[in-house]
Amino acid sequence: MAAQANLQLRELKAGDDGKGVLDLLAQLTVVGEISQQQFKDRFQLLQSKRPDYYIVVLEDVDKQRVVASATLLIEYKILRHCGKVGHIEDVVVDDGYRGQKLGQRVIAALVAHAQTQGCYKVILDCSDSNVPFYEKCGFIKKEVQMALYMTAKQTV
């Protein structure tokens, strides 16, 4: 991919299923079969939870394709003087666009949003192989991730 791609950083939009966002997410994990109506319904639900549920994308405007995406969830705590914590999830950059610091751009946008929402920290889980990337984004390695899947169908 040419470094001169016309990229726009913005929030997820209702029509992004037609711009390849589901194919992009499938590069990260299992997406499943999602109809346009299901996408629309889920998008509307997520919009109703703004600004506490915030999804940013990078769109290659010339190709009308979403090429990067990441999500921030805000948790309301009783701890830390009723503070808020940002949780970053579902960070993915299209295979053909990697190596251009696009992941850093979407992470920076989420961190900025967390700051404007008054979060006292932002956390995420990642594989050991992704630790160097997140360190470049300013994160430090801390503690251990654990998971409990509710059905046999759900996998890592």
What is the pLDDT confidence band of residue 145, given thresholds at 50, 70 and 90?
A: confident
- Coil, strand or helix: which one is 97? helix
The predicted-structure confidence for 65-86, as pLDDT tens digits, reads as follows 999 999 999 999 999 999 999 9
The pTM of this model reads: 0.91
What is the pLDDT at residue 124? 97
Peptide bond into 51 cis (omega under 30): yes
Nearest-angstrom CA–CA distance, 44 and 63: 25
Nearest-angstrom CA–CA distance, 1 and 100: 9
What is the pLDDT at residue 144? 87
Two tokens, residue 12: 């997820």
What is the pLDDT at residue 2? 46
The predicted-structure confidence for 6-48, as pLDDT tens digits, reads as follows 999 999 999 999 999 999 999 999 999 999 999 999 999 999 9
